[in-house]
Amino acid sequence: MKKHIPEKTVARLLLYYRYLYFLLQQGTKNISSKSLADMVEIKDSQVRKDLSYFGKLGGQGAGYDVLALRDMIAKVLDIGQITNVCIIGMGGLGSALASYKGFEALGFKVAAVFDNAANKVGHRLRGHTCLDSKELSKVVAEKDLKVAILTVPGEAAQKTSIALEQARVKAILNFTPVKLSLSKNIKIRNIDLAMELKTLSFFVK
Amino acid sequence: MKKHIPEKTVARLLLYYRYLYFLLQQGTKNISSKSLADMVEIKDSQVRKDLSYFGKLGGQGAGYDVLALRDMIAKVLDIGQITNVCIIGMGGLGSALASYKGFEALGFKVAAVFDNAANKVGHRLRGHTCLDSKELSKVVAEKDLKVAILTVPGEAAQKTSIALEQARVKAILNFTPVKLSLSKNIKIRNIDLAMELKTLSFFVK
DNA sequence: CTATGTGAATGGATTCACAGCC
DNA sequence: GGCTGTGAATCCATTCACATAG
């Protein structure tokens, strides 16, 4: 039971959640750290350590109650709550993410999409009316958006991210290969798809 | 100058490469580990440690030669070589990746795309004729594909990944939220977009 | 006797600090 | 003097191992 939770642990909680969800559907009531660890292909001690950040959850000698554990994780991760997000840059990737089912499944709702190309602004794209990037500040404030997904071309990334910061967004999921320089009040997570592919293929030898 | 190169180092090499490329265009001939580190927002010692895996590259007291360094990284990472990849699952995400410019920029070429839906197979999608997943083995062998991008729905992931293994693919970039169970001869890299978004938004509090 | 919760040990990556070379 | 290359020190995450509760 500590205060600071590592990022890796948060990521694993979600994996646990998915399996617990599945187990519940099957009617499984109880599970040991070992069984859960096997499903995720990690060590049982890792599971216990991760869970220990959140207090005593399992009866000793008896494993964990699946329902209680799932609910605890759901609460910690705010699963069940809807979180509104916006997407800036409706190119191929942005458009795909605008209708990505995986986000919905975790309670994310794409509440606004932006672009600055005249042939996109004002048009329906993947169920959303594309807004002009100029309206970012206004819309972010109106809808109280805290998280943005950045899928603009690299050249526009830094400029757009400054606009996001000014619009008081709290976090950016950055799909551009550009290192964003912003104040550290704003949390950034980078996903560089080409880099992932390159790193993967490097080890194929 | 060691033998085993950490994955994190490989990922950073690509960042260095991008900046070196840019510096060359500017006509910058020489750079210190400190300047390069500042651009990437890491410590200078990290840069030197990463580079030291590949031998002595910088004149001591004199920094690194931009051109030589860029070429070294290009060689290590096979930049300039075309690497053919395939995509399995032409939903929204798969389609977006099929025409993703970032891949091209690093020398990846989408050489085949697959799906098993009757309304997709045989049709042109993003410049590629969608092939039937049944032909995986045949096409992978013909085109000597080593890397696959997996963007099928979660339910189909494990089954499809087995087909990929049988087709002798060497690496999979897995966009499904499913933990693939395969032999360890096959290298897997997981990108769970919803998890990334969830992990990011967890820390917004 | 079983399986948790957690300090202690390990392992890996990052950072420091400085000897060595330009 | 300036800056690299690298062992040593540090930091953080994972794993071990065991006292403890049921």
Q: Give residue-wise pLDDT tens across range B19-36.
A: 999 999 999 999 999 999
Residues of A (61-80) whose Cβ lies below 8 Å from B: 77-78
Same domain, A190 and A122: yes
Per-residue pLDDT tens, chain A, 205 aa: give them: 656 888 899 999 999 999 999 999 999 999 999 999 999 999 999 999 999 999 888 777 789 999 999 999 999 999 989 999 999 999 999 999 999 999 998 999 999 999 999 999 999 999 999 999 999 999 999 999 999 999 999 999 999 999 999 999 999 999 999 999 898 889 999 999 999 999 999 888 7
- Do the chains contact at B197 and A85, CB–CB below 8 Å? yes
Q: Is B175 left (phi over 0), alpha (psi -120 to 50) or beta?
A: alpha
Question: Measured between CA atoms, how close is B165 to chain A, in angstroms?
Answer: 14
Same domain, B25 and B70: yes
pLDDT category at B137 given cuts 50, 70, 90 is very high
Same domain, A27 and A65: yes
**Does the annotation place A122 within a ligand binding site?**
no
Q: Decide if B89 contacts B53 (C-beta within 8 A).
A: no
* Selection from B8, B9, B107 nearest residue B54 by Cα: B9
Task: For residue B18, tell me if it sits in a domain.
Answer: yes
Residues of A in contact with B187 (CB under 8 A): 200, 203-204
Structural domain including B120 reads 83-197
Same domain, B155 and B132: yes
Measured between alpha carbons, how far is residue B41 from residues A40, B12, B19, B73, B125 in Å? 33, 11, 12, 19, 39
| Per-residue DSSP letter, B6 | P
Task: For residue B144, tell me if it sits in a domain.
Answer: yes
| Per-residue DSSP letter, A18 | H
Same domain, B89 and B181: yes
Same domain, B10 and B68: yes
Question: Given the DSSP bridges, would you call strands A128-132 and A124-125 parallel, antiparallel or unpaired?
Answer: antiparallel
CA→C1' distance for A46 and C5 (Å)? 12
Same domain, A65 and A88: no
Collect all residues with Cβ–Cβ distance below 8 Å to A86 and sequence separation of at least 6.
A110, A111, A112, A113, A114, A139, A140, A143, A145, A147, A148, A149
As for how many domains chain B has, the answer is: 2
Give the residue from B52, B76, B100 where a domain finishes. Answer: B76
Task: For residue B122, tell me if it sits in a domain.
Answer: yes
Give the residue from B76, B104, B136 where a domain finishes. Answer: B76
Q: Structure pTM? A: 0.93
Query: Could you give the count of Cα atoms lying within 13 Å of B43 in the half-sphere of its Cβ?
Result: 3
Question: Measured between CA atoms, how close is A42 to chain B, in angstroms?
Answer: 11
Same domain, B146 and B49: no
Give the residue from A32, A48, A76 where a domain finishes. Answer: A76
Q: What are B170's two structure tokens?
A: 């060497």
User: What does A78-142 look like in DSSP terms, one character per residue?
Assistant: TBTB-EEEEEE--SHHHHHHHT-HHHHHTTEEEEEEEE--TTTTTSEETTEEEEEGGGHHHHHHH
Task: For residue B37, tell me if it sits in a domain.
Answer: yes
- Round to whole Å and give the CA distance between B127 and B103: 15
Q: What pLDDT was estimated at residue B57?
A: 82
Collect all residues with Cβ–Cβ distance below 8 Å to A168 and sequence separation of at least 6.
A137, A140, A141
Task: For residue A181, tell me if it sits in a domain.
Answer: yes
Task: For residue B204, tell me if it sits in a domain.
Answer: no
Same domain, A95 and A59: no
Nearest to A102 among B7, B171, B194 (CB): B194
> What CATH code is carried by the domain that includes residue A98?
3.40.50.720
Is A10 part of the contact surface with chain B (CB cutoff 8 Å)?
Answer: yes
User: What does B107-151 look like in DSSP terms, one character per residue?
Assistant: TEEEEEEEE--TTTTTSEETTEEEEEGGGHHHHHHHHT--EEEE-
Instruction: Share the mean pLDDT of chain B.
Output: 93
> What CATH code is carried by the domain that includes residue B36?
1.10.10.10
Q: Residue B11: which nucleotide is closest by CA–C1'?
A: C13
Task: For residue A205, tell me if it sits in a domain.
Answer: no
Same domain, A41 and A115: no
Task: For residue A202, tell me if it sits in a domain.
Answer: no
Same domain, B69 and B93: no
Same domain, A99 and A192: yes
